């Protein structure tokens, strides 16, 4: 037995014993999405028994709706800060058990660490890692979006070691000497198969793909529309990947030869991302794959870093857009729905890229619970809606009715362009409202 294994064995304990390393006034970071350590998260309510107080818990798209998020007794122990909401966190928000943190991916950690230092708190990271290698290293696996930056800030590192998680490269390797305590788990990794898409999604995908030239570097998100876009990109040549989230569809693009990362002009030969979530096939593709590098969002989402890629194309979704081009992508009125993520930063980065473009895609309408149809392009945003992307930054907007290129257009020209890609049933109304409200 080597010395690393001896140290590993000394630090191995039960989930509750691991959590007993948390002290009053600690700031506890949890990792992105499916990196959440189930054994530890499932026992967090044990903190009620340890006597700690005034703890802050941070979450970001937790892939499981853990009981701790909905336990009102935990309010006496900790406050819950949500960086990006899920359906479970929206419910917890309605119960006033979590509060959203407005943020951009590149700056949220720096701002949070500033707060921690100012308040005299201690950073703690709970996360999942792949098994230790012979040299004592474990991989942060499927997310390094902020986790490695937290480690480098001197956080108390409490990990769940799971052999079902892939070993990835980039800013991912932590050493057993950095770990305070660990628990072992063999729970299955959360697998999510690609979402099927509709004919409307496919139409939007064709429009978006028509804007992507050969040799472009792409950023895609998850969901029906990005899946449809990726399907239409299979005929492209020499694409590159520099993205926040590495998706299942990117595996398809690499394997069909559309992506070869040869013409990025920056980080040629490798795909850059910050986190991933998907199917077992995706995780197997990433396991021990040195051609995909996981980097902190302070790097991957930094507009200046993005701008070093040739013909960078940012492809994102939005929930609502007004006739001047303001995009609300994270809230429904004042109610938090998700989060800003890296949308604004990738859009700004596209502006700095030689030949870069940014695209916001959406269905033209949605149907409410009563079956009534509503336009997603509106005269003015719903009162209280958070503006995720400024009208100063918006570039291309795509619906199933076409493409509006807003770059450099006046307000009056934007009203006309956006009305043309709205659902036909709402076009006259949009023009009437624009006139009535002196929008143009």
Instruction: Please give the average per-residue pLDDT across 103-112, as a whole number.
Output: 84
Tally of CB atoms within 10 A around 55: 22
Give the relative orientation of helices 224-232 and 248-255 as an angle to the nearest 10 degrees: 10
Distance CA 129, CA 132 (A): 8
pLDDT tens digits for range 71-80: 999 999 999 9
pLDDT tens digits for range 115-164: 999 999 999 999 999 999 999 999 999 999 999 999 999 999 999 999 99
217 pairs with which residues across the strands? 240, 312
pLDDT tens digits for range 2-35: 999 999 999 999 999 999 999 999 999 999 999 9
The number of angstroms, rounded, from the C-alpha of 218 to the middle of its chain's C-alpha atoms is: 15
Tally of CB atoms within 10 A around 51: 8
Q: Among all residues, which ones are annotated catalytic? A: 244
358 pairs with which residues across the strands? 314
Worst-scoring range by mean pLDDT, 3-7, 184-188, 190-194, 304-308?
A: 190-194
In the chain, the domains with their CATH numbers are 3-184 (3.40.1080.10), 199-436 (3.40.1080.20)
Q: What are the two backbone dihedrals, phi and then psi, of residue 170, each rounded to the nearest 5 degrees? A: 115, -130
- Band of residue 329 on the pLDDT scale cut at 50, 70, 90: confident
> What pLDDT, on a 0 to 100 scale, did the predictor assign at position 175?
99
Of 167, 193, 158, the closest CA to residue 36 belongs to 158
Q: Which pTM value belongs to this model?
A: 0.94
Residues 6+ apart with CB under 8 A from 32: 60, 61, 143, 145, 146, 147, 274, 275
Q: Would you say residue 307 has pLDDT above 90?
A: yes
> What pLDDT, on a 0 to 100 scale, did the predictor assign at position 195?
81
pLDDT tens digits for range 342-371: 788 999 999 999 999 999 999 999 999 999
> What pLDDT, on a 0 to 100 scale, did the predictor assign at position 339?
76
Q: Would you say residue 49 has pLDDT above 80?
A: yes
- Band of residue 107 on the pLDDT scale cut at 50, 70, 90: confident
Distance CA 70, CA 98 (A): 9
> What pLDDT, on a 0 to 100 scale, did the predictor assign at position 414?
98
């Amino acid at each position: 037995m080597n010395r690393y294994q001896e140290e590993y064995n000394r630090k191995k304990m039960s989930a509750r014993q691991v959590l007993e390393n948390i002290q009053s006034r600690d700031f506890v970071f949890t990792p992105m999405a499916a990196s959440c350590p189930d054994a530890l998260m499932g026992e967090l309510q044990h903190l009620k028994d340890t006597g700690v107080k005034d703890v802050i818990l941070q979450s970001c798209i937790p892939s499981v709706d853990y009981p701790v998020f909905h336990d009102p007794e935990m309010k006496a122990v900790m406050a819950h800060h949500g960086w990006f909401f899920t359906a479970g966190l929206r419910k917890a928000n309605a119960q006033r058990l979590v509060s959203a943190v407005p943020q951009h991916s590149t700056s949220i950690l720096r701002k949070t660490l500033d707060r921690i230092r100012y308040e005299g708190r201690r950073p703690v990271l709970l996360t999942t890692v792949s098994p230790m290698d012979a040299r004592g290293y474990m991989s942060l696996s499927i997310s390094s979006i902020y986790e490695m930056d937290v480690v480098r800030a001197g956080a108390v590192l409490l990990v769940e070691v799971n052999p079902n998680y892939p070993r990835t490269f980039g800013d991912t390797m932590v050493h057993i000497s950095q770990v305070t305590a660990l628990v072992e788990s063999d729970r299955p990794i959360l697998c999510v198969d690609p979402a099927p898409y509709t004919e409307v999604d496919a139409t939007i995908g064709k429009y978006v793909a028509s804007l992507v030239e050969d040799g472009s570097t792409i950023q895609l998100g998850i969901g029906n529309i990005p899946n449809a876009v990726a399907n239409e990109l299979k005929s492209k040549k020499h694409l590159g990947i520099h993205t926040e989230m590495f998706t299942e569809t990117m595996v398809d693009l690499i394997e069909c030869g559309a992506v070869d990362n040869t013409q990025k002009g920056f980080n040629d030969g490798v795909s850059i991302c910050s986190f991933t979530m998907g199917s077992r096939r995706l995780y197997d593709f990433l396991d021990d794959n040195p051609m995909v590098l996981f980097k902190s969002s302070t790097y991957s989402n930094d507009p200046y870093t993005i701008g070093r890629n040739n013909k960078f194309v940012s492809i994102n979704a939005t929930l609502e857009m007004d006739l001047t081009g303001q995009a609300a992508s994270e809230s429904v009125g004042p109610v938090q729905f998700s989060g800003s993520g890296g949308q604004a930063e990738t859009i700004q980065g596209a502006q700095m890229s030689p030949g870069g473009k940014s695209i916001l895609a959406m269905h033209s309408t949605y149907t409410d619970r009563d079956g009534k149809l509503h336009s997603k392009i509106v005269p003015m945003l719903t009162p209280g809606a958070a503006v995720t992307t400024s009208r100063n930054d918006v570039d291309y907007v795509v619906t199933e009715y076409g493409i509006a290129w807003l770059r450099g257009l006046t307000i009056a020209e934007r009203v006309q362009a956006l009305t043309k890609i709205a659902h036909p049933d709402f076009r006259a109304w949009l023009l009437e409202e624009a006139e009535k409200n002196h929008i143009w």
